[in-house]
């Protein structure tokens, strides 16, 4: 085994954390639309020099809303995947069953939390922002893939959450405290998920030959390609949402620049930060050096 993660320690860490959706949002806990929601290292609004400061903030908030929606989407496939994985071995290791069910319960809570925030966003932002979906269709498409490919995708997503919070969000004092709080509470539970994902990937790869492992990695890359298609659509939605919210029509040249900068920003946010995460690469390298090298050969396109 690659690491020191165990079901027992992940469960103990998870049980020590207690928060309810009502503790984070509702009553006077509301989004502040005078502030940015996303860190600039993920939003990439500054390179769009033809936008005013107010317009950059509007685009930043559109990206924040999309961030919640995209996490809502991916958690819709993670929840049934973890339940299916737990169900295959309900006897034997009690800590394993309890840790995986705790993981699933937290993911169901996160789905609801993101929906709740999205409602607050819609109530306060003023105009409608379209997002890719529907979640069930995206989840069904991802779950058609080899379970090892799905498990590596989940590993990627949950280490990515760690990286976003620690590298970009934690020390950013400009962000709306309410939005930042949401990301903090999400992050604190995702730490355990990332460790359990590592154990899931190891379990799914344990009886496979190297060829079978590499085939699972190709399916992970296919899922990445599917997500990338979705991101290209999301950039178009964000462009429409921006024009409507700011009441500004961009020129053709400005639209091209918007698409170029924002596609790169989206690719980095959802693909690059996960594919290049050291813990994802270490797990892949433990499965097979070729698996790690394959992903390293593809990741520069998303960075
Ligand atoms: Fe989550
Ligand atoms: Fe999670």
Say what percent of the chain tops pLDDT 90. 97
For residue 194, the ligand closest to its alpha carbon is 2
Q: How far is the CA of 198 from the centre of ligand 2 (A)?
A: 12
pLDDT band, very low/low/confident/very high, at 4 (cuts 50, 70, 90): confident
Q: Can you tell me the distance from the alpha carbon of 188 to that of 23, in angstroms, rounded to the nearest whole number?
A: 15
Write the DSSP string, 178-247.
HHHHHHHHHHHHHHHHHHHHHHHHHHHHTT--HHHHHHHHHHHHHHHHHHHHHHHHHHHHHHHHHHHHHT
274 closest CA partner among 184, 186, 158: 158
Q: How far is the CA of 117 from the centre of ligand 2 (A)?
A: 17
Contacts of 31 (CB under 8 A, 6+ apart): 37, 117, 120, 121, 124, 176, 178, 179
Say what percent of the chain tops pLDDT 70. 99
pLDDT band, very low/low/confident/very high, at 1 (cuts 50, 70, 90): low
The mean pLDDT value of the chain amounts to 96
- At 18 the pLDDT is 83
Q: How far is the CA of 105 from the centre of ligand 1 (A)?
A: 10
- At 105 the pLDDT is 97
Q: Can you tell me the distance from the alpha carbon of 68 to that of 21, in angstroms, rounded to the nearest whole number?
A: 15
| pLDDT per residue as tens digits for the range 61-114 | 999 999 999 999 999 999 999 999 999 989 989 999 999 999 999 999 999 999
For residue 82, the ligand closest to its alpha carbon is 2
Q: How far is the CA of 102 from the centre of ligand 1 (A)?
A: 12
| Largest Cα span, the chain | 63
Q: Can you tell me the distance from the alpha carbon of 227 to that of 230, in angstroms, rounded to the nearest whole number?
A: 5
Q: Is the pLDDT of residue 302 over 60?
A: yes
Instruction: Please name the residue ranges forming H helices in the chain.
Output: 7-15, 21-24, 40-43, 53-87, 94-125, 135-143, 147-163, 177-205, 210-246, 252-267, 273-275, 278-287, 289-298
Q: How far is the CA of 211 from the centre of ligand 1 (A)?
A: 31
- At 20 the pLDDT is 95
- At 172 the pLDDT is 96
pLDDT band, very low/low/confident/very high, at 202 (cuts 50, 70, 90): very high
pLDDT band, very low/low/confident/very high, at 156 (cuts 50, 70, 90): very high
Distances (CA, A) of 110 to 54, 76, 138, 150, 245: 30, 10, 17, 19, 27
| pLDDT per residue as tens digits for the range 118-152 | 999 999 999 999 999 999 999 999 999 999 999 99
- At 192 the pLDDT is 96
Q: How far is the CA of 113 from the centre of ligand 1 (A)?
A: 9
Q: How far is the CA of 240 from the centre of ligand 2 (A)?
A: 30
Q: How far is the CA of 257 from the centre of ligand 2 (A)?
A: 34
Q: How far is the CA of 131 from the centre of ligand 1 (A)?
A: 19
Q: What sign does the CA torsion over 187, 192, 194, 197 have?
A: negative
pLDDT band, very low/low/confident/very high, at 2 (cuts 50, 70, 90): low
Angle of the 210-246 helix axis to the 278-287 helix axis, nearest 10: 160
Mean pLDDT, residues 174-182 taken together: 96
Q: How far is the CA of 166 from the centre of ligand 2 (A)?
A: 16
- At 89 the pLDDT is 87
Mean pLDDT, residues 217-241 taken together: 98
Q: Can you tell me the distance from the alpha carbon of 268 to that of 43, in angstroms, rounded to the nearest whole number?
A: 10
Q: How far is the CA of 5 from the centre of ligand 1 (A)?
A: 19
Q: Can you tell me the distance from the alpha carbon of 138 to that of 151, in angstroms, rounded to the nearest whole number?
A: 16
For residue 72, the ligand closest to its alpha carbon is 1
Q: Is the pLDDT of residue 5 over 70?
A: yes
Q: How far is the CA of 42 from the centre of ligand 1 (A)?
A: 18
Q: How far is the CA of 68 from the centre of ligand 1 (A)?
A: 10
- At 3 the pLDDT is 57
Q: Can you tell me the distance from the alpha carbon of 116 to that of 91, in angstroms, rounded to the nearest whole number?
A: 36
| pLDDT per residue as tens digits for the range 250-275 | 999 999 999 999 999 999 999 999 99
Could you give phi then psi for residue 247, rounded to 5 degrees?
55, 40
Q: How far is the CA of 103 from the centre of ligand 2 (A)?
A: 7
Q: How far is the CA of 244 from the centre of ligand 2 (A)?
A: 33
């Amino acid at each position: 085994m690659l690491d020191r993660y165990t079901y027992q320690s992940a469960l103990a860490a998870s049980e020590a954390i207690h928060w309810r959706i009502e503790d984070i949002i509702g009553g006077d806990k509301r989004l502040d639309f005078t502030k940015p929601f996303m860190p600039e290292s993920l939003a990439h609004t500054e390179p769009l020099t033809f936008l005013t400061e107010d317009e950059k903030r509007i685009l930043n908030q559109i990206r924040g809303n999309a961030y919640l929606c995209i996490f809502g989407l991916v958690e819709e496939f993670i929840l049934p995947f973890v339940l299916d994985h737990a169900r295959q071995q309900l006897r034997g290791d009690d800590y394993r069953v309890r840790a995986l069910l705790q993981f699933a319960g937290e993911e169901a809570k996160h789905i609801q939390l993101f929906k709740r925030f999205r409602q607050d966003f819609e109530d306060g932002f003023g105009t409608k922002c379209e997002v890719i979906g529907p979640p069930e269709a995206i989840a069904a498409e991802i779950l058609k893939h080899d379970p090892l490919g799905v498990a590596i995708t989940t590993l990627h997503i949950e280490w990515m959450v760690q990286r976003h919070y620690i590298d970009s969000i934690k020390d950013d004092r400009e962000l709306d405290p309410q939005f930042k709080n949401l990301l903090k509470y999400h992050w604190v539970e995702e730490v355990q998920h990332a460790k359990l994902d590592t154990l899931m990937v190891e379990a799914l790869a344990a009886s496979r030959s190297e060829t079978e492992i590499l085939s699972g990695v190709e399916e992970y890359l296919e899922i990445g390609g599917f997500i990338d298609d979705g991101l290209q659509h999301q950039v178009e939605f964000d462009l429409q949402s921006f024009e409507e919210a700011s009441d500004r029509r961009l020129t053709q040249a400005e639209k091209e620049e918007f698409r170029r900068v924002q596609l790169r920003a989206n690719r980095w946010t959802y693909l690059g930060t996960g594919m290049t995460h050291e813990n994802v690469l270490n797990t892949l390298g433990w499965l097979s050096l070729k698996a790690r090298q394959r992903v390293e050969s593809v990741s520069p396109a998303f960075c």
